Structure 1
């Protein structure tokens, strides 16, 4: 915890309790440290127990264009593909027709949703999916009913105008009245409509974090923990996703109050390969939101194959962030196969040991998960940028049983990657080798085009 000057002033007899410090040591390198953190996190009583539902968030599909017909079209395709949760993002409340207004007024906009969410939620539930909704309860727009009524409910140091960032200010949740306003309005929406999940965003940095000229970051943080706790107390089946422009709030404090982290608002799969690799050093994959985005990517403009995007999204709490109502039949078929593969293998993906191989080519990643019995593993070999090697280094694996034989093959649930020039190695169609050979000698690496990846299944044979 980084305390601002004057944030904790103790009077005689008072005490201050710092947040818990978690540290891990392992003689098995970064993966050993990662395994200890993952084991600790998975051992918590509040760790999600049920299978992580395949999620579609509609933000990059519709943005602020909340049209019920459009949303139903997305829901229809989502159900066909096998999506299990549909999330309506920003734009449903107050005067929120852009990011300039409405934050703080957590009441359904009757012009956009004249009959509320009843009909759309019913349609989504009838298709076998859960419904989720977006909030950014710690923020307020100056152009909002809340701010016009209570301009003093924001964090500021006084004596000058508030620091407006992204057209929003930070609501002072250390103020009991402001806290109650957010809690009651959010809870009212969750009570009126059958909402299974909320995405809780935080889209600006907390600066001028002062209440009555006293620093307030610590108390603001503790307040959001109390708010999450109370929401879950009132709505016991509610799941909460922590989002702060993506991964701005991923830590081992808030983790006890949420069920998922959105890794990054940059949904470009090439960037996500790096983001997910290092966020996953501490946080286990079942808590990391990893979605297939559109192409070209909305954050980078980069065009990437569905195969690469889908393989990247598989290693986490998988989902989709894309207008699937407009996709081709071939993409729809690929997504359906990928969704089925995720569901069939998520138990392994979300309970197995994460392994990141120190691959010789710094332009490629080799990583995966293996089950506790060392009988099953799924790896990804991802060529991020062009290889500089004439003959790529062998693919060697870890944590297999050296005395057992394993069947190894490549699988393509969302289509094959693009191979370069040289004929791909024959083992891709299937080979049986001992664990010792796979760990010590390995397999010839296929030469992939940049921004391509393949999945490798390793199953112990009888």
Structure 2
């Protein structure tokens, strides 16, 4: 049969006629109403010519391409088995016989137009089979010539890189035991020059939190493909007779509206299954406020200041458990430090609750310090080689060991049962750097699932020394991700811009930090810090006891504005304007009915010209008229102008078409600053 899937302007045509390995004939723009006759004619028409010095029949790129198909590009399935088992390509009972393996492929096209593909393999033989790869290979048109993916490092995640590959494979592999700070994140192939607002693009993401591989291949045979899956180390996964393996989902998106069109599909789809079911609380995290200096007396003034400005969740970060006075000891010993907390955590939690706030607590369950009672008692529980270098003075626990799993779950379960903890910041501060990433990741999922089942009211944040583990494998199990360990607003602008391509803003934690950033030492204006932290799941990571009364008043106004507008911020369409000058950014969130929009006009560095490009506000209804005004909290945006545009002081009323196509004259800010704009339809 020929399967024809359609949703939200996307169509997928799969040739799965009897006796053939299924093949994707089209993934992209909706082809319209095609009946069985039209589909059969289409499938027959795609048979290519046979070029010289090639296999003697038209090349057919299947969902399981291999040598048997004449495919010499990167394959989907790789395995090792005793001599005599070879790829046959026979199709029986809905599965392709891959030597000793039966391979079936699950394909979904969601109502939002998001494609999901995975393989299910079973060893039907009487011998052991070493599985090396079970990847997804998807064809894209040859016009998808330009490539975008991401790299980065700690506190500088999600750095875009663009290339135009020639023939061959552009491959990105992660061996961190987590996606890592240099995670390719999304691999996007598109028509040359594609941007946020224009161009046709195809994007893929691997919904897996362990080792992964993603690639783009332009074959000299003709086809262009996007591929990816779990990256399995040699000998890591053996399928015994009867064993099954299900690959991670590969998530694919097509858009003819540029990168914003990718988000337009991913965000509604993620929101359709999201665990988030209430407004995102404004939080305060204690890390950059007090570090390891914990005491009830020391934290009381911070609790009072947090309550004053309108914080709704108070999170105690690292340093609360026995012996933890620095980052060189005690991970794994998950017992409250009686020296710091002689009455346990209850007196602190009571103070937090008295301030009208929920209480949250930091854990790093997957790690152990060599200097800990756990490591001394159970050195056999350590996954990473104890002879190798530590990373942040810690090793990795073997979660696949049932005894380790039970111990960690037991400690989390006991603490969550004893104390009124509404929120867990789940950290992961080093690469695994050891064999067994598959088993470790699978055990991590089981552990989080077990914690959530036992304590369904507790929210979990995924932190991996910042943004080292943000993916669609961890997201269904969490309610927030820590986007980066840096609170420097200049770094954060681009990190948040590109992180939100995949993940909706309500998940992306962003905090108001101190004027001098902990990670970079850069000093930023209060207005810039407030504007940057406003978009996403907002919080504070600053010792508010050192803030002036005037600063506390400004923060209070900012917190009030956040609470009043978070319903829009966390449900609307994310938009980003393309700009000729890379020093300027415009981004925003527009309500689903386009009645309102919130935008940030950002100046990252000195502009190319004395008058930077106009500030365009994309995403508004071109047929409606909007009143645009500045959203201020009382913190002055540093400026270098001799006079301001009238919209800045008086507001302006204009059609959405004008605001989106022409825009407003820019405010001449000092570099590293931003101003927020609010657009409200006058009929709203």
| Fold-level similarity (TM above 0.5) | yes
1:338 is matched with 558
Q: Secondary structure at the match of 1:96?
A: coil
In structure 2, the CA distance between the partners of 1:37 and 1:255, relative to structure 1 (3 Å rule), is same
Q: Which moved more, 1:140-149 or 1:438-447?
A: 438-447
Pick one of 492, 502, 514 that aligns with 1:294.
514
- Partner residue in 2 for 1:387: 607
Aligned to 2:367, which of 139, 162, 168?
A: 139
Equivalent residue, structure 2, for 1:172 = 398
- Return the alpha-carbon distance in structure 1 between the equivalents of residues 398 and 322 of structure 2: 20
Partner Cα distance (1:333, 1:278) in 2:
32
Map 1:7-406 onto structure 2 (within 5 A).
Answer: 7-44=236-273, 46-156=274-384, 161-209=387-435, 216-406=436-626
**Please, what TM-score do these two structures have when normalized by structure 2?**
0.65
- Choose which of 631, 635, 642 in structure 2 pairs with 1:415: 635
Distance 2:374 2:329 in 1: 11
- 1:12, distance to aligned residue in structure 2 (A): 2.6
Superposed CA offset, 1:312-362 (max 9, x none): 000100000000011101110000000000000000000000000002221
Looking at structure 2, the residues matched to 288 and 421 of structure 1 have their Cα atoms a distance apart, in angstroms, of 34
Shift of 1:390: 2.1
Q: Distance in 2 between matches of 1:398 and 1:275?
A: 20
Q: In the alignment, is the contact (CA less than 8 A) between 1:369 and 1:379 conserved in 2?
A: yes
Task: Report the Cα distance in structure 2 between the residues aligned to 1:27 and 1:445, rounded to whole angstroms.
Answer: 29
Map of 1:433 onto structure 2: 654
2: CA distance, partners of 1:441 / 1:322: 39
Contact 2:275 2:477 in 1 (8 A): no
CA distance in 1, matches of 2:393, 2:246: 35
Q: How many residues align?
A: 453
8 Å contact from structure 1 (residues 41, 47) kept in 2: no
Give the deviation of 1:19 after TM superposition. 0.6
Greater shift in the superposed pair: 427-436 or 342-351: 427-436
SS across alignment from 2:453: helix
> C-alpha distance in 2, partners of 1:149/1:257?
31
Q: Distance in 1 between matches of 2:324 and 2:674?
A: 40
Tell me whether 342-351 or 388-397 shows the greater mean CA deviation.
388-397
- The secondary structure found in structure 2 opposite 1:25 is strand
Structure 2 unmatched runs, 5+: 1-229
Q: Do the aligned partners of 1:381 and 1:453 also contact (CA within 8 Å) in 2?
A: yes
Give the Cα–Cα distance (whole angstroms) in 2 for the partners of residues 174 and 402 of structure 1. Answer: 55
Instruction: Report what 2:161 is aligned to.
Output: none
**1:34-72 superposed Cα distances (whole Å, 9 cap, x missing partner):** 11111111010x430100000000000000000211211
Structure with more relative contact order (C-alpha pairs < 8 Å, separation 6 or more):
1
SS at match of 1:289: strand
Residues 3-52 of structure 1, C-alpha deviation per residue, up to 9 Å, x if partnerless? Answer: 111111112322211011111111010000011111111010x4301000
| Alignment partners' CA distance in 2, 1:220 and 1:115 | 36
The Cα shift of 1:414 comes to 4.7
Q: 1:212 corresponds to which residue?
A: none
Larger Rg: 2
Cα offset, 1:202, TM superposition: 0.5
Equivalent residues of 2:588, 2:598 under 8 A apart: yes
Q: Which has the higher helix share?
A: 1
**Contact 1:293 / 1:320 at 8 angstroms: preserved in 2?**
yes
SS in 2 for 1:146: helix
Rounded to whole Å, the distance in 2 between the matches of 1:11 and 1:187 is 34
- Tell whether the 8 Å contact from 2:384 to 2:397 is kept in structure 1 after alignment: no
Contact 1:94 1:103 in 2 (8 A): no
RMSD over aligned Cα, in angstroms? 1.1
User: SS state of the match for residue 24, structure 1?
Assistant: strand
- Structure 1 CA distance for aligned equivalents of residues 388 and 401 of structure 2: 17
Comparing both structures, which one devotes a greater share of its residues to strand? 2
Deviation per CA, 1:151-199: give whole Å up to 9, x if none.
0101146xx7144221100000000001111000111111111000010
